[in-house]
Every structure is written in structure tokens, then in C-alpha cells.
Chains A and B, each alone.
Chain A
Amino acid sequence: MTTPVVPVTAGTPVDDLPTGGPVLGRISYRIPVIYAVLAAVSLLGLAGTLFRRDGVWGQSTEFQSRYGDQWFTIPNFSVPSLLSIIVLTVLMAGAAVYAYVLTAARRTVPVWLHIVVGLSFVVAFLTWAGAGKTSVIPVTSLLAGALALSVPLIFGAMSGVVCERSGIINIAIEGQLLFGAFAAAVVASLATQPYLGLVAAPIAGALVGALLAWFAVRYHVNQIIIGVVLNTLVLGLTSFFFSTLLADNRETWNARQPLGIIEIPLLSQIPIVGPVLFRQTILVYLMYATVIILQVMLFRSRWGLRTRAVGEHPKAADTVGIHVNKRRVWNSILGGAIAGLGGAFFTIGSGLAFGREMSAGNGFIALAAMILGRWNPTGALVAALLFGFSKNLGNVLGTIGSPMPSQILAMLPYVITIFAVAGLVGRVRAPAAEGVPYTK
């Protein structure tokens, strides 16, 4: 062993130079402000309805957790509305103060505090909305619906992660979802076998992914433009077949072929979350597997390392013998397949026939979820779930009759997404070579 090469830099290190006090950056009080706003909204909601006849004064709110058959169920329980909301509001205000103290001392606000504040706000909101209603707040079905609405978003976001980590911008998620939904419905209907639909959907999605890769990698077409074009192409194609072939002979071409529910023994008996997570179709279990496998593979496997290298610094990857463009093409096809599988949820996953434009913008929301989740599978999962939950919250409140106008409720998911992106995520770092064609 040789002696280490030590730089000749004895003497005073520069950090100890006698100079004035340090100039520090401005502190960002974003998080305490968000907490305070949530507490204030909660307080205003309370004050606004306190003295009205249908307000929360002296009322109670009933929650229900029963959902299908279970071995044992928690009976419905009610809480005094006013007291609950006050306690939760005080909790949020306290969290805002604590976050302020932490931020002022230049320390980071812990993640659990976000969860506490988020949960408090949601529960306070539900208590307020359900105060004095004859109908109960169906907690479990609220969550189950939220998961259902999230499934295509999660698949779409995973597709985005796989493509964009390798440097291909995938705007075509929308088209891949729609084509997957179409192929699943048609194949399942023709074969009268829903599981064959599960094979057809990823193939259809992969086809769109392959087209994207072909134009982007071979011809260097701007990836955003080609993505939008592919979405339009799929929309046109599926609408055409829907109004001709599928409409003419619905029984053969577009019959409903729902995937069966598979119940996981024991796990599905857990109160509240059991039936939500473990009484699902195979598609949902595939979704769990996809997220977990991607999270592990992306950061722990050879494929993941190479994918990230190609998306961050393709030339560096090339100099160690990695085929940049080949990797991008395959990732684009794989991403397409994942989104296609997600599309199957709209038709065979939900037991519906194919309908025109049935992906309804989910691909773009999935893209937002991926960015919100910082190009990480688990982050994107949480973001997609948040979106699905807020959307279903709007639906449920609409049915139980909340004091809020339905238009406001319909805005809920978008408002929450904007707040989450602007408030909690802030600046994000995309893969450095995203959208840039690679040439030697």
C-alpha cells in the first residue's frame, strides 16, 4: 500500500477566515402557512354554519365502517360534531405553530406532522359535512371508491416513471390507457373470457409506446408533440370503431366481461382497510406488484441503474457500452404496456363496456401524479391515491347531501392537486436528459 496523496493545504481553512456574520437565505414559511390556512378554513366552516338551523350546533356525525360481509364489524359510531371539529381545528393550529417554530429554527418539518394535519383536516371536513344528516359517512366505501378511481392513475404514473427515467417524455399515457381499455373490452368480449382482455390491454398500450419510441428515437420528433398526436390518433381510432363495428354488433364486440373479485383470506377481514385492499380483481393486485417491483428494480437493479443513467447522462452511459437508444425504446414499450394494463381497469376491471373517450383525461392526471411524486414509484403512488381520494370524496359528499354546492365538490381533486404541487412539492428535478434525443 502506498501513502495516500494528501493535498498540501495546511494552514487555516478558508471557512475560518475572520469575516462578518454569515449571510443566510430567506426562510420559506410555506409549510406553516399551509397548515394555518387549513386550520383557518376549518374554523370558517365551523363559524359559517354554527348558528344556522342545519349547522353543527348540538348535532352529531355518524361514521360507518361496514362494507360487505365480514366476520366481525365495528358498529356505526357517532361523534359530537361541534366538539370534534373544535378539537381537530386546535390540533391543526397547534401543528401550524409547531411548524413555524421548527422552520424559524431552520429545521425541517417531519413527515408525520403532514400526515396528522392532513388527516385532521379530512376528518374535520367529513364531520362537518355529515353533521345532523340522517345518512352516515361510509368510511370504508369512501376508501374503496378512492382506490378504484386511483388504479388507472397509478398504472399511468408508473408508465410515466418507466419512460421518463430513461429520458422519453410520455404524454401519450392518455392514449395508452384508452387503447388498453378498448383492446381489453373487445378481446374479452370476442373470447367471452375477461382474462384474455388482460393480455390484450398491455399489448395495445405497448403498441402506442413503440410508436412513440419509433418517432422520438429514430426521427427525433419532439416528444411532446408526438405524444399529443398519438393521443388524438387513439381517440380517433377507438371512436371510429366504437360508432361502427362495436355499435353494430354490441353482443359480440362490446359485451360486458367483468373480472372476478378475488378475496384474500384473513387479510380481507381486517376492519376498514381489509375489504378495501384485499377484496379486489386481479388487476388491482397486479397494480400493487407493479409499484413494488418498480420501486425495487429502479433503484436496486442493473436495469434501473442503466435506465437512470440513460435518462440523466446518456453520453456517460454510451461510453460504458450501454446502448442508449435501445434502452429508451424498450422502456418506452414497457411503459406503454403498463399504461395499457391500467386502461383495462376502465372496461373489464370495472365491469363496463367500452365507451367513447372513457379515459377522460386520466392520463394527464397520471402525468401530474408522477411529477408530484418526483419520478419515484412510491411518490407517484401516494400522489395518485391523493387524487383518487379527493375525487371520490366529492362523489360521496354529493350523495349524502353536503352543505357545499356540487360544482365546488367537483373542483376538489383539481384544487387539491394544485395545492399539493405548488405548496408541498415546490421545485422538482426531472431526469436531466428528458426529452432530448441522443446522437453520438
Chain B
Amino acid sequence: MKLELRGITKVFGSLVANDHIDLIVEPGEIHALLGENGAGKSTLMNVLYGLYDPDDGQILLDDEPVTFPGPGDAVRAGIGMVHQHFMLVPVFTVAESVALGYEPAGPAGILDLASARRKVQEISERFGFDVDPDALIEDLPVGVQQRVEIIKALSRDAQILILDEPTAVLTPQETDELIKIMGELKAAGTSIVFITHKLREVRAVADRITVIRRGKVVGEASPESTETELASLMVGRSVNLSVEKSPAEVRDHGLVVSDLTVLNGSTPVVDRVTFEVNGGEILAIAGVQGNGQTELAEVILGIEEAAAGSVSLDGEELLGRTVRQRLRSGLGFVPEDRSTDGVVASFSIAENLVLDLYSTDEFSRGVSLNLDRIAQNAEARTKEFDVRLTHIDDPISTLSGGNAQKVVLAREMSRPLRLLVASQPTRGLDVGSIEFVHKRIVAERDQGTPVIIVSTELDEVLALADRVAVMYRGRIVGIIDAAEAGADGINRDALGLMMAGVPLEDAVQQAAGHRSVLASADAAAEGKDLT
């Protein structure tokens, strides 16, 4: 089916999320929609899927104008969508999830679950998905949940499938499988709209690329374009994709974590984790979201309780101390969810900058706050960290994600640190802010502070880390040293395999013999031999 969007415009308050966007998706093509976070890709697809009413513009299917008052109408017209955050009920089985909304039912509305199960099996077999129709959604790994979403769309005869940031939650191997699945769907005649901000993937799978920036289509590109070309189109200026950093000058003090265990009920979510970070180096904790990284970071801060093990900084035990004691002794902590754990949205920027320091002599006297000092502090910090703002007394919720993150960094890094822990420091930020955040983190390391970065983005891990520890199901699968890996750097595929639980040596071996789809695409683009 051919899809055409003409002049789609969607306005939220004063923000123009989509500004007269035109897009044509030919039958059986994989059309990538490339843009930074907040560029308006998801808004556009939600308009197409009937979740938002467009303020202007037209949707045409096979050259016939259509309107979708609700998602049900879009589905009936043959549009399927796999949302970035899966639309699955955790306590339902796969068959129930697929059936929901289109349930096969007998008299009195009693469900015909047998036929729902058959349908799942049928599609699952046709595309080699290997999904058990009776498994509970909450027990399935995200990669499989995504396949359930695809089955859901296919079971309603979707001819146009929208995949919204489908690789954000996948391991590199799962991404490979998804790419194969996309190929098979394409061969079966399904058109795919593939939304992403990851340049490598776009080049590997897309037939055509449309780039969106600040709600506008800024150009079309072919998959043969280089990453740098795509990046400058996406950002609107030339960007430096790598982080400049000198070799680590390691000092011998630092953080030693040994046999650290965190339990959730009786299941270990952090399982006998042991590692050390020396002053002046960056250790990246890589892994797919939900493999214990969050808990590990939180136990170092002290908001999660350890069941066993020890965490010592320069020889002092941290476990058993309060969060405030740890912060005062020189721990800087950037939480993974900026909006819920990093800032208080309704507080002013100035207040957010002293959230953990308000009770020090510098900012308070007795029971009263020293507002002048707090204001001076805010002026100085926001200048130093280049926070774009109107006024320091405005609530922090008025700032963009990148600027809010800079406020968090400014707060956490503006005192002498003995350890910096940053979880997902650049999640949801634009390229410009990412560059800035990375530079600040490297600067902190160069001052001799031990730094831990928790990140699910392999690009970020590879760019920043001196050493990489990969976590899988609460355990550290292995630690790779960038310096020892040699001139080629750390093997991406080996890291990817470790993220799926393959131990270090096996992963390195397998990665040498096997090349992922993405790596092959890279090689092809660079004109290298594929074998």
C-alpha cells in the first residue's frame, strides 16, 4: 500500500511539533524517518496512527484521502504501529495481548482463546518468531515483547508498519534479528516506516531516508550517504562524532566494589558484582536496560540496600552510611531519569542547583536559606555549564532536556569530587548537548576522579570508556580494557554478544568469526572485503 502525508501540521501550545511535513512511502519499501530526539518523528506517526488530530494536512492511502479519528480507524485501514514504549499489558498472555481489541469470541462474549493462540502460532511460524502464545508478557525479554507487538500488527493485516525507535531497547544481536525480520516483511510486501536517530541502522536497512529537524523535513538522503553527512543533515551543522580524549593517567586510589549483591525479594538483581575504578579513568557499565545497572548505581549512592558485599572509596566503606554522608564525602551522582530523580520540576533552576547543598554553611544560616548566595551560585553555574535560560527563578520544567541535564551536571560536578557516577548521562539529548556532556565528563576524569558511566548506548560506551564492564542479569559478564584492545578499539560485536550473556573469551572468538548485519554494512560502506 502506498502512503502519502501532505502538509501535516501539529501544534502543541506554542510548540510547532510538525510543520507542513510531506512524506511518501512506496509499497514494499523500508522508509527511514531520521531525526534527533524531539524533532517531531513520534508526533508525526501518532498523527498517522490516529492518536493525535492533525491541525492541518492530509493523509492519503493509495492516493485516496483518509481521516483517522482514533487508532481503531487507522488499524482498519491497514496501518500497524510498534510503539517505542510497548503497548502490552504485563499481566496478559501473548495470545490475550494479540487478541485485545479484536477478540475472537463466541456467545455472551466468551473469548475463543484457542483461535487467538492459533493466530499467534501461525504468524510466529511464518516469520520464524519463536513466540509462545501462553507466556506472560512480563516474563518475556524485551526483544520478544517487540515481536509480540509485530505479531499484533500483522494479525490485523497491517500493510504499513510503523516501528518507533525499535532498536532502543535491543541488544545488538536482537537488532540484527529485527533487521532480518524487517527484510522478510518487506519481501512479503509490507511497507515499513522506521523511526530512529541511530545513523548506522538507517544505512543498513533503509531504502530511502527522510530527515526531520525541528518539525520540518530538511531533506532526503540515500543509504549510501556517510554517517557524517547524515549527522550534519540531522543536526543542521557539522558534528564531531568522536570524543577527543588523551590516554588515561591512572592514579592508584579509587572505588573498590566487591561481591556486591542486591536482592529484589529473593531474586538477586545485582549478583556478586566485583570491580574497581581507579582515579583518572572512566569505567563504563554497558548492558541492555534492566540487567541490574540501575540498582548497582543506586546502591553506590545509598538509595538501594545491599544484601552482601562492600563498596569502598579510597579505603573507606560506603555501605551503611547515609546518602547525605556519601554526597558530602565527595560522591557526584547523575541519576538515569532526570525528570523524576534528577530535578524537582516545579522548583526554580536556582533551587535545583542547591538541592543537595542547601543545608551547608555556604547556602544557609540556621533555619533560613541564604537566597543571595543561592542566586549567585546559580548565575555562576549556569554560565559555566552554558545553560540556556530566561531567568534562574523560572521553574526548571521550562528548560529543554539538554539544558535540564546540564543543570544536574552543574550541581553534581561543582564541588570537589572523589567519585562521579553518571547513569545514562545523555539520554534524550540533542547532539550538541551530548558533545558538551561528554567533554565535561572527560574533563572530570582528567582531574583524577574515578568515573563510572552507566549507559545502554554502545556508541557512548565506546566513545567514553577506558574500560567497559558488561552486565547481564545482575552479573558482570566481563571487563574489556580499551588500551589492551589495540588500535581497532573494542570490538562492537564482542560487546554485543556479552550483552546477551556470552562470556568474554567466547564473545571475542565468536565476534572474530561472525559479523553482524550492521558491521557488514559498515564494512561495505567503507569498501572493505566482506569475508
Contacts and interface: CB of A to CB of B under 8 A. Distances in A.
A432 interface: yes
Interface in B146-170: 152
A4 interface: yes
Given A11-B503, A301-B111, A26 B497 contact: no
Nearest to A10: B510
A8 to B, nearest CB: 6
A315 B87 CA distance: 7
Interface in B109-141: 109-111, 113, 125-130
A321 B72 contact: yes
A408 interface: no
A9 B497 contact: yes
B109 A14 contact: no
B109 A302 contact: yes
Nearest to B147: A5
Interface string B270-309: 0110000000000000000000000000000000000110
B130 A19 contact: no
Contacts of B96: 305
B272 A14 contact: no
A8 B510 contact: yes
B272 A19 contact: yes
A2 B307 CA distance: 47
A315 B88 CA distance: 9
Contact of B128 (A4, A312, A440): A4
A234 B106 CA distance: 40
A5 B173 contact: no
Interface string A21-64: 01111100000000000000000000000000000000000000
24 contacts: A3-B128, A5-B177, A5-B180, A7-B173, A7-B177, A8-B173, A8-B510, A9-B497, A10-B506, A11-B503, A25-B266, A300-B113, A301-B111, A305-B92, A305-B103, A306-B101, A317-B89, A318-B51, A318-B70, A318-B71, A320-B71, A320-B100, A321-B72, A440-B51
A23 B271 contact: yes
B327 interface: no
Given A13-B501, A301-B108, A302-B103, A2 B510 contact: no
Contacts of B91: 308, 312
Interface string A316-332: 11111110000000000
Interface string A279-322: 00000000000000000110011110110110011011111111
A305 B99 contact: yes
A12 interface: yes
B503 A313 contact: no
B71 A319 contact: yes
A5 B177 CA distance: 6
Nearest to A14: B501
Nearest to B88: A316
A265 interface: no
B89 A312 contact: yes
A20 interface: yes
Interface in B66-98: 70-73, 75, 81, 83, 86-92, 96
Contacts of B173: 7-9
A7 B174 contact: yes
Nearest to B173: A7
Interface in A333-369: none
B506 A7 contact: no
A423 B252 CA distance: 52
A162 to B, nearest CB: 15
A289 to B, nearest CB: 14
B419 interface: no
B250 interface: no
Contact of A11 (B128, B259, B271, B510): B510
B500 interface: yes
B89 A308 contact: yes
Contacts of B92: 305, 308-309, 312
Contacts of B51: 318-319, 440
B155 to A, nearest CB: 11
A7 B477 CA distance: 18
Contacts of B333: none
A23 B308 contact: yes
B494 to A, nearest CB: 12
Contacts of A309: 89, 92, 100
Contacts of B126: 1-2
Given A20-B259, A312-B90, 12 more contacts: A5-B177, A5-B180, A7-B173, A8-B176, A9-B501, A10-B510, A12-B506, A17-B475, A308-B92, A320-B72, A321-B73, A440-B51
Given A5-B181, A23-B263, A309-B92, A322 B100 contact: yes
B268 interface: yes
A5 B130 contact: yes
A2 B72 contact: no
A24 B266 CA distance: 6
A303 B109 contact: yes
A305 B261 CA distance: 39
B514 interface: yes
A254 to B, nearest CB: 39
Contacts of A24: 266
B492 interface: no
A344 to B, nearest CB: 25
A20 B272 contact: yes
Nearest to A322: B101
B502 A11 contact: yes
Contacts of A313: 87-90
Nearest to A429: B91
Contacts of B111: 300-302, 305
A9 B143 CA distance: 14
Contact of B307 (A1, A23, A300): A23
Contact of A316 (B89, B130, B263): B89
A23 B181 contact: no
A10 B263 CA distance: 29
Contacts of B477: 14, 17
B366 interface: no
B41 to A, nearest CB: 17
Interface in A241-296: 296
B13 interface: no
B241 interface: no
Contacts of A316: 86-89, 100
A302 B101 CA distance: 8
B322 to A, nearest CB: 23
B364 to A, nearest CB: 35
A319 B81 contact: yes
Contacts of A20: 259, 272
Interface in A94-144: none
Nearest to B152: A320
Given A1-B125, A312-B90, A320-B102, A25 B75 contact: no
Contact of B75 (A17, A296, A321, A432): A321
Contacts of A26: 266
A28 to B, nearest CB: 9
Nearest to B130: A4
Nearest to B53: A440
A4 B180 CA distance: 11
